[in-house]
Structure formats: structure tokens, C-alpha cells
Structure 1
Amino acid sequence: MTSTPRLVLVTGASRGIGRAISLELARQGNIVVAIARSKAALEKLDDEIRKLGSEAVLVPMDLKDTKGIETLGKIIAEKFGKLDGFVANAGLLGTLGPLETCGPRSFEETIQVNLTANAHLIRALGPSLHRSESPRAVFITSGVVPRPRAFWGPYQASKAGLEALVKAWADESEKMALRVNLFDPGAVRTGMRAEAMPGEDPMTLPTPDDVAKELVKLLTPEETRTGARVVYREVAAN
């Protein structure tokens, strides 16, 4: 349990890695602002967080709603005054296949959720983060950025753009209290991974809970790195 509860916002909080991060944060005594599209899934998460003796603020929202993101930023500033942590976990796999056959709607939606929404969240949440004594932000990225592959064009383009965006923000905040980092979980036992790799044995992969335990360390006041690209398989091996 943390001595003083920290307020941490997690996108894509209702399933997979986001759910595991939310529960791990709650287990350590933090208050979670949980964002996801499904109200029912958020309510189930809320029940689990309450059983852990913590609390959550539920925000059913589609990250393609730019005005909703702006409103969220204002509400957090007015209600809480500050935000201690931000985990940009929500992501869309999009269409896997040849770029020449990828429809414009699918491409644009992938970019919007994985990249554009995070730019809006940075703008909306930045003022509240800067009011914290030790603000931390972590963005989930992917191994397809350093190792691009065929048929993953929209997804890896969105993640490459995200990494560039995050590194810019880290450089801009270098002399401030805010620490901004990227986290590459690698292959994890999630629904998205099963969709991308249907022939893979999920039991050979680490669980979201395994990954969450390492990621939340980047949200602590003790974390001093900024602009780092942290890879789960590397930190887990140490």
C-alpha cells in the first residue's frame, strides 16, 4: 500500500493490460480514474477495485471523442486539482493485411485511437499533471516500431508516431517534475494478441498481471528516468 494515495488515470482500463494495471494500482492503495468504452466492464472493474479496499472513478468514453477528452481534463482539474499519473494504454490493432487493401476508415481510426487521442490527452491532462509534486506518464508502445513487419502498416505507423510524440513531450518536460516514458510489453496473453496471432499458444506468454507489476514502477515518485523506452522482457530478466 502507498502511504499517500496517488490519483492515476488509465485508458483502456476495462480489459487486458489496462485492467491489470488498474488492479495493481488499486492493490497498492492508489485511486484509479478508469477510462474505457464499456460501462458494464468498468462497473465490473470497480467491484474488483473496491474488494481491494481502494476506489475508482469510472469514465465511460470513446477516445475518438475529442470534446469528451477536453471535458475530462477540465473535470479532473476542477474536482481533484491535480493528477499524479497517466497510463496511455488504450490501443486499436486495426486491419492487418496489405496496405493497398486497407480501407481509409480503418486506417484513420487506428491512427486516431493510438496516436491522435494521446496528443489530445497530453494537452487536456498536462495542466493537472504539472500540479502534482511527482507526476508520471507512461505510454504503451510495441515491438513493431523497432522491428517493422509486413501487413502491420497502420498499427506500426500509429505506434511509431506515438513514440515520436512521447519523446518530444519528455524533452519538453525535462526540467520539470514530470517524467514521461514508453513501455513495450512485448507479446502478452491478451485478446488483442490472440486476434493478431491466432495460432500462438497463449500459455507461453506472460500474463497482463505480470506486465502490470513492472509497468506501475514507472509511475512511482522514485522513478527518475524520462524519455526512456522500457521493454518488459528486459526488466523482467533482471
Structure 2
Amino acid sequence: MTGQLKDKVALVTGASRGIGYQIAKGLAAEGAHVIALARTVGGLEELDDEIKSAGGSTTLVPLDLTDMGGIDRLGGAINERWGRLDVLVSNAGLLGVLAPIGHIEAKTFEKTMTVNVTATWRLIRSVDPLLRKAQAGRAIVISSGAAHSAKAFWSLYAASKAASEALVRSWANETQNLPLRVNSVNPGATRTAMRAQAMPGEDPKSLPTAREVAAKIVPLAFADVTETGKLFDVRAGQFLDYRDPA
């Protein structure tokens, strides 16, 4: 590792497993102090052990992203302790259910949109002032190819990720004249528990691991990233421009 994030403060949601877990480890390996947020305490403690054994440092935040008050208080707590936030990785999300639109239960729809969209907005609102204080603030919001393919039976997840990308694009346009860079990421098919839930018949060994995918996302937090308001496609290894309507 190159120490690109030495003395930086990074917040990662959904850090107790999968891609978020590996991103948190990668950021810590680059020198960042990682604020690891997730609802699963056991996974956070395991992450803490791994990062500290490698010489890194963490602060654990056990929080369910349906707790909107907790998200609102998060920014103030970070400000009180560190006075800024250098990196945000909004990774936590729910698949919901794969089903025909008319078969989706209201409670499932509402919970998925709450975690994938409303919580993302509340998180952005909570930490935006802190990222603006940073010399090279970086925000990375994990999306999905589903936001663009809108395949049959994927309506709920696709709609939530499309909404998340719209939030990120607007945020990027609002901050384009600041050092803050804001981008979405499509990690592609990855060997995670969510992928197994969505594709139970798929051979997981045919997919890249969460660690391999995270290794390509971590550099988006570096100060030399100049793109903003774009979608980084992990498989392609490059930023893609959104197509605006004529």
C-alpha cells in the first residue's frame, strides 16, 4: 500500500461484511482512520480486530440505517471528534425481493427504499458539511447495474439504485466548484451474500471476490481523483458519463 490516505478520516457504511468490509480494510491499509458503521456488531468487531492487527485504527458505530435519528446525529458526532470527514463510502443496502411489481408487499418496498434511498439522503445531509471542510473530500456511493438494466422482477432494487444515483449526480453538480468529488460505483457481479440471495443457482467461484472488487474502489478515495458526478464501472475499470436528455 502507498499510504495515500494517511491521517484521513473515512466513514464506511455496511462495513460488517462483503464489499464494505473489504473497502474498510483497504482504506485503513492506506492510512485512514476508518469509522465503520453497520448493524451487525460481530462483523464490526471482526473488522476491528483485522484492521488493528495490521496496524490500522477504527471507530465502530453499530447502527441500523432505518434509525434516521442516529444518522442525523452521526455528522455532529464526527464533527465533535475530528472536525471533518475526508472520505464517505455509502455501501449499505438491501436487495428487497425479486418479484413482479404487483407482487411486492408494501412493507418490503418501503423498507428497501428506506435503507437504499432515504438513508442515503439522510447520510449525505448529515456529513456533507464535513466533507466540504476536507482538503480533498471524496464521496463514493455504491450502486448497481440494475439501475440501468431494469430487468424483469428487479423493479424494487433497480428503482432504489436509480434514485440513489440521481441523488449523487445532483450532489455532484451542487459541489462541482469545490474540492469535493462525488461519484457512484457499479461493482458488478461479486461473490457476496446479497449476490447469492439474488442468484442462488450461480457458481460463486465464477465471480470476483469482494476483496478483489474493493481493491478497485479504494483508489477512488485518493486526492488525485478529479472526476465527479460520474459512474465508475469496476469491470470496465473506468468512469462512465451519464447521458443527459436532449
- TM-aligned CA deviation for residue 95 of structure 1: 1.2
Distance (whole Å) between structure 1 residues aligned to residue 31 and residue 165 of structure 2:
30
Amino acid at match of 1:17: I
Q: State the partner residue of 2:232.
A: 230
2:225 aligned counterpart, secondary structure: coil
Out of 45, 49, 53, which is 2:47 matched to?
45
Amino acid at match of 1:32: V
Encode CA deviations 1:100-122: one digit per residue, 9 max, x unaligned. 11110000011010111010011
Distance (whole Å) between structure 1 residues aligned to residue 205 and residue 110 of structure 2:
33
Distance (whole Å) between structure 1 residues aligned to residue 46 and residue 77 of structure 2:
23
Distance (whole Å) between structure 2 residues aligned to residue 233 and residue 224 of structure 1:
20
Out of 165, 185, 189, which is 1:183 matched to?
185
Distance (whole Å) between structure 1 residues aligned to residue 162 and residue 123 of structure 2:
18
Distance (whole Å) between structure 2 residues aligned to residue 76 and residue 227 of structure 1:
25
Out of 114, 120, 141, which is 2:143 matched to?
141
Q: State the partner residue of 1:202.
A: 204
Distance (whole Å) between structure 1 residues aligned to residue 148 and residue 100 of structure 2:
20
1:170 aligned counterpart, secondary structure: helix
8 A Cα contact 2:9 2:87, kept in partner: yes
Q: State the partner residue of 2:219.
A: 217
- TM-aligned CA deviation for residue 38 of structure 1: 1.1
8 A Cα contact 2:148 2:158, kept in partner: no
Gaps of 5+ in 2: 239-246
- TM-aligned CA deviation for residue 5 of structure 1: 2.1
2:235 aligned counterpart, secondary structure: helix
Q: State the partner residue of 1:33.
A: 35
Q: State the partner residue of 1:166.
A: 168
Amino acid at match of 1:72: L
Distance (whole Å) between structure 2 residues aligned to residue 96 and residue 181 of structure 1:
27
8 A Cα contact 2:3 2:29, kept in partner: no
1:10 aligned counterpart, secondary structure: strand
Distance (whole Å) between structure 2 residues aligned to residue 130 and residue 195 of structure 1:
37
Distance (whole Å) between structure 1 residues aligned to residue 147 and residue 126 of structure 2:
26
Distance (whole Å) between structure 2 residues aligned to residue 72 and residue 146 of structure 1:
31
Distance (whole Å) between structure 1 residues aligned to residue 46 and residue 138 of structure 2:
26
Q: State the partner residue of 2:83.
A: 81
8 A Cα contact 2:11 2:34, kept in partner: yes
8 A Cα contact 2:10 2:86, kept in partner: yes
Q: State the partner residue of 1:123.
A: 125
Encode CA deviations 1:38-86: one digit per residue, 9 max, x unaligned. 1121111100010110010100000111100111110001110000000
Distance (whole Å) between structure 2 residues aligned to residue 209 and residue 219 of structure 1:
16
Q: State the partner residue of 1:99.
A: 101
> Structure 1 vs Structure 2: percent identity of aligned residues?
47
- 1:4-19 to structure 2, matched below 5 A, reads 4-19=6-21
Query: Which ranges of 4 or more aligned residues in structure 1 deviate by more than 4 Å?
Result: none
- TM-aligned CA deviation for residue 99 of structure 1: 1.2
- TM-aligned CA deviation for residue 209 of structure 1: 0.8
